[in-house]
């Protein structure tokens, strides 16, 4: 009997392909080509499932053109590349990859905060350019991290991981804003106090963004919000491009409206707003917050396990729209 056909949209760990190949007839993309939507549709047409990364959009057009597809397994916790409503209407299951990346991503959020506050990359560029001729008392003086106020917008699993690092590791005063308040126990675990978004922006020394992207969270931080922040504050975005108005941020950094920013995600990535590339007080990384080999392997394996479970008639492990299923 022939095996069900699935598609892997991007290059992936060989051991994940091996695992999937025991169950499916697998079309891979180990050359890691970035396919146009048309090519993606061509490849997907005859498949019942697909392993996507955050880069492949699954919308009504794709679903109409590929009626055999039953599951799209995202190798990412964020799933704003899925039109979940269209998927539900079409009876297609979406799954994401939560939990396995929480601590790694929180580590990186903290790394970006540290690098931004203490001007790590800016000072390294200076040194590499041969500009370091003498020590001076204020050379690359940055912002204090320990004991400062850490404001977290978006207090899901990753936000709580960052809060724990700040409160327990660095003695920070943690405040947060979220759609809903944490339980008293969860607040106590990360020593975090719930405040309004406005109070957070006005009082935090460091603002870290960890909210999922949706039309409602588009430009959570724009010119008006930047205007509320302390001139000495740092802004960190490890959430999604589009949560911050990158043009407004570049302007705020240029005018020293805020001290610095650390960005792992961008509007229109992998293209970066050119104005951001011109300002020195921003640390820029190419969407690598979950990028350790064990974590990326666990994300890919979870996506693979979702495909295997669902397509063999069992419940998916991390479903997003479990009632969609045909």
CB of 279 to ligand 8YV, least distance (A): 24
Residue 47 and residue 86: Cα distance in Å, rounded? 18
Q: Which is nearer to ligand 8YV, 148 or 321 (CB)?
A: 321
Closest approach, Cβ 84 to ligand 8YV, in A, equals: 14
Work out which of 9, 62, 72, 77 binds ligand 8YV, going by CB under 6 A.
77
The Cα 319–Cα 72 span in angstroms is: 10
CA pair distance 88, 92, nearest whole angstrom:
6
Q: Using CB under 6 A, count the residues that bind ligand 8YV.
A: 9
**Which residues participate in catalysis according to the annotation?**
240, 269, 287
* Mask for 18-57, x = binds ligand 8YV (CB under 6 A): -----------------------------------xx---
Residues 6+ apart with CB under 8 A from 204: 149, 150, 151, 175, 229, 230, 233
**How many beta carbons lie within 10 A of that of residue 5, not counting itself?**
16
**Please, which residue, 8 or 77, has the CB nearer to ligand 8YV?**
77
For position 78 contacting ligand 8YV by CB under 6 A, the verdict is: yes
Q: How far is the CB of 289 from ligand 8YV (least distance, A)?
A: 6
The full DSSP string for 112-146 is HHHHHHTTHHHHHHHHHTT------TTTT-----T
Judged by CB under 6 A, the residue of 217, 290, 306, 321 near ligand 8YV is: 290
Looking at the DSSP bridge assignments, the partners of residue 234 are 206, 260
Check binding of 75 to ligand 8YV (CB under 6 A).
yes
Structure token pair of residue 45: 């047409």
State the DSSP code for 244: B
- 136-165 residues near ligand 8YV, rule: CB under 6 A: none
> What pairs with residue 149 in β-bridges?
173
Q: How far is the CB of 76 from ligand 8YV (least distance, A)?
A: 3
C-alpha span between 220 and 233 (Å, rounded): 17
**DSSP-derived 3-state class of residue 264:** coil
Closest Cα partner for 182 from 213, 154, 203, 220? 154
Contact region for ligand 8YV (CB under 6 A) — 72-80, 167-175, 198-206, 241-249? 72-80
Instruction: Examine residue 100 and tell whether it contacts ligand 8YV (CB under 6 A).
Output: no
From the list 69-77, 169-177, 219-227, 313-321, the region that binds ligand 8YV by CB under 6 A is 69-77
Choose the stretch contacting ligand 8YV; rule: CB under 6 A; options: 75-83, 159-167, 170-178, 215-223.
75-83
Assess contact for 209 and 237: CB atoms under 8 A.
yes
Name the site residues for ligand 8YV (rule: CB under 6 A). Answer: 53-54, 75-78, 101, 289-290
């Amino acid at each position: 009997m022939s095996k069900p056909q699935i598609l892997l949209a991007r290059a992936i760990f060989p051991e994940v392909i091996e695992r999937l190949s025991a169950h499916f007839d697998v079309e891979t993309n180990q050359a890691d080509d970035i396919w146009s939507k048309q090519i993606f549709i061509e490849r997907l047409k005859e498949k019942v499932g697909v392993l996507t990364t955050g880069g492949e959009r699954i919308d009504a057009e794709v679903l109409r053109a590929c009626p055999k597809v039953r599951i799209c397994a995202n190798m990412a916790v964020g799933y704003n590349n899925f039109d979940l409503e269209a998927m539900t209407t079409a009876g297609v299951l979406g799954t994401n990859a939560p939990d396995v990346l929480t601590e790694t991503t929180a580590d990186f959020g903290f790394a970006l905060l540290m690098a931004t506050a203490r001007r790590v990359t800016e000072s390294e560029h200076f040194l590499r350019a041969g500009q370091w001729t003498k020590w001076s008392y204020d050379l690359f003086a940055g912002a204090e991290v320990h004991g400062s106020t850490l404001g977290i917008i978006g207090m899901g699993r990753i936000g709580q991981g960052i809060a724990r690092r700040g409160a327990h590791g660095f003695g920070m005063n943690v405040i947060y804003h979220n759609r809903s308040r944490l339980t008293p126990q969860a607040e106590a675990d990360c020593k975090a106090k719930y405040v309004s978004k406005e109070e957070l922006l006005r009082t935090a020394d460091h603002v870290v963004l960890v909210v999922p992207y949706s039309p409602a969270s588009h430009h959570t931080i724009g010119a008006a919000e930047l205007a509320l922040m302390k001139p000495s504050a740092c802004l960190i975005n490890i959430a999604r491009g589009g949560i911050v108005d990158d043009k407004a941020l570049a302007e705020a950094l240029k005018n020293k409206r805020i001290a610095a920013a650390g960005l792992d995600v961008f509007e229109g990535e992998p293209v970066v707003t050119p104005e951001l590339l011109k300002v020195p007080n921003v640390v820029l990384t190419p969407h690598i917050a979950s990028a350790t080999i064990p974590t990326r392997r666990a994300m890919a394996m979870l996506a693979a396990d979702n495909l295997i479970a669902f397509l063999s008639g069992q419940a998916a492990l991390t479903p997003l729209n479990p009632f969609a299923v045909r």
